[in-house]
């Protein structure tokens, strides 16, 4: 018999924040990299229409489907995208974080109508992507 030493999950709270919950005790506000880890492990939020608040900003859940030759739809991509940003900008962020493993998304914000993402590279250098 396996004994569960620690149960860890991500939970959407009433304030809209995604929190890391350990053994039923609310913990810190989840960050994008932690959420990404949970997604890789198969976690999918139960309320996929909600706006999720993380340390880096507000995010929405997305799912992309393709149809095969039998008209069957299947999921090809899913995850969190910054809320309100152009899809192309979000895709640039996703691609960057995919290709530069170990980089961390620190903040997504809109300043004077320009979307900006701050990313800390694995070597500690900070870069900014604007759209």
Give 127's strand partners.
119
| Rounded Cα distance, 59 and 94, in Å | 13
Residue 58 lies in a domain: no
Range of the domain at 116: 85-131
122 belongs to a structural domain = yes
DSSP 17: B
Q: What's the CA gap between 72 and 74, in Å, rounded?
A: 7
Enter the tokens of residue 53: 């608040």
Asked whether the beta carbons of 10 and 21 are under 8 A apart, the reply is: yes
Contact 28, 20 (CB under 8 A): yes
Classify residue 116: in a domain, yes or no: yes
Quickly state the pLDDT bin for 3 (edges 50, 70, 90). very low
- Nearest CA to 107 among 53, 56, 59? 56
Using one digit for the tens of pLDDT, what is the confidence trace for 43-101? 666 666 667 777 777 888 888 889 988 888 888 888 788 888 898 999 998 888 888 88
Please indicate, yes or no, if residue 109 is contained in any of the structural domains.
yes
Q: How far apart are CA 131 and CA 125, in angstroms?
A: 20
Count how many domains the chain has: 1
Would 124 be classed as within a structural domain? yes
């Amino acid at each position: 018999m396996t004994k569960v030493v620690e149960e860890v999950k991500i939970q959407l709270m009433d304030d809209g924040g995604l929190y890391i919950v350990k053994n039923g005790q609310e913990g810190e506000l989840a960050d994008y990299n932690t959420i990404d880890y949970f997604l890789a492990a198969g976690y999918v939020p139960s309320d996929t229409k909600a706006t999720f608040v993380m340390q880096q900003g507000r995010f929405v859940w997305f799912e992309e489907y393709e149809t095969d030759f039998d008209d069957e739809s299947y999921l090809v991509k899913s995850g969190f995208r910054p809320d309100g940003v152009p899809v192309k900008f979000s895709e640039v962020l996703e691609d960057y974080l995919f290709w530069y493993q170990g980089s961390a998304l620190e903040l997504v914000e809109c300043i004077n109508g320009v979307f900006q993402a701050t990313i800390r590279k694995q070597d500690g250098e900070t870069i900014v992507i604007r759209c």
